[in-house]
Amino acid sequence: MNNISLENKEIIQVVFFILLAFVSMFMILILFFYFSRKKVVQVEIEKKNLELHHQKELLNSVLITQEEERKRIAQDLHDDISSKLNVVSLNSQLLKTPNLNESEQIEITNNIIELTQKALEESRRIAHDLLPPVLEKFGLHAGIEELVEEFNSTKSVKVVYENQIDFESYPIEKHLHIFRILQELLNNSIRHGKATKISIQFTTFGEQKTCTYIDNGVGFNNTAFQQSKGLGMKNIESRINFLKGNFSFDSRPNEGVKMVINFE
């Protein structure tokens, strides 16, 4: 009987240790999954925070750009149009001066006509800067062609433009975003890159639309550029976001710039 009792105790001890081992392993697995999940969640939170910070920077760049645009327009209206209209008003008052001879009247009238014409030209230029009429009347393709012609007319750069996309179904807001992106890129290539050759190519593959922009300018260190993007580049990024697109950017010193933009 004692032997049987001893064997039962040993069996109970073995079963107890096995259960304890299983419980310990179970607890270890629970802790492992808990901390693993916690780390994954923390990484996701950090990723979302970075995305939110990036979106905040892009939004801030848009607001800064808009504010600068408003200041520029206000200055143009004050310096170019208001000043001319003030002189027109003064000249109009001079016409009321008694005893003006015919030549004086003609001179004052010609001044009024000339200044009014210049004010009209300036107002058209400001309106063109806000929304190029060619976009609204003839669409993005015609707008880009006109933009390319303007740069080619300087004879300092050769811009080649090819397009396989039908932009007619696109809303005017998308037209303007794409147009401003190209405008910014062209200005950067000329002003900073000193490029003499630029290629702009729009292609389509199913629902995916692509713009490939290449210049032969001085280029720059791609890593340094990614770390310190200027306002112009942030503005381009924000416009690409509005297009629900993405982009890749590549540049090296003395090897120009290549930018590929994908959008819907």
Tokens matching residue 176: 């303007």
Most confident range (mean pLDDT) of 14-23, 56-65, 157-166, 249-258 is 157-166
Domain closes at, from 129, 159, 181: 129
Domain of residue 155: give its range: 132-263
Supply the pLDDT for residue 74: 65
Residues 143 and 258 placed together within one structural domain of the fold: yes
Residues 152 and 105 placed together within one structural domain of the fold: no
**Spatial distance between the Cα atoms of 126 and 71, rounded to a whole number of angstroms:** 12
Residues 141 and 258 placed together within one structural domain of the fold: yes
**Each residue of 174-205: pLDDT tens digit?**
888 899 899 889 988 998 889 999 999 999 98
Residues 179 and 88 placed together within one structural domain of the fold: no
Number of domains comprising the chain: 2
**Spatial distance between the Cα atoms of 156 and 167, rounded to a whole number of angstroms:** 29
Residues 70 and 110 placed together within one structural domain of the fold: yes
Cβ-in-10-Å burial (0-12, 13-18, 19+) of 257 comes to: buried
Residues 78 and 144 placed together within one structural domain of the fold: no
Residues 139 and 223 placed together within one structural domain of the fold: yes
**Spatial distance between the Cα atoms of 245 and 264, rounded to a whole number of angstroms:** 7
| More confident call, 25 vs 211 | 211
Residues 19 and 107 placed together within one structural domain of the fold: yes
Supply the pLDDT for residue 203: 95
Length of the chain, in residues: 264
The CATH number for 145's domain is: 3.30.565.10
Residues 215 and 256 placed together within one structural domain of the fold: yes
CB 132, CB 170: distance < 8 Å = no
Residues 207 and 252 placed together within one structural domain of the fold: yes
Residues 29 and 99 placed together within one structural domain of the fold: yes
**Each residue of 40-98: pLDDT tens digit?**
777 777 777 666 665 666 666 655 666 666 666 666 666 677 777 777 788 888 888 88
Domain closes at, from 129, 147, 179: 129
Residues 17 and 53 placed together within one structural domain of the fold: yes
Of 170, 164, 224, 214, the closest CA to residue 193 belongs to 214
**Each residue of 143-167: pLDDT tens digit?**
999 999 989 998 889 999 999 998 8
Domain closes at, from 73, 101, 129: 129
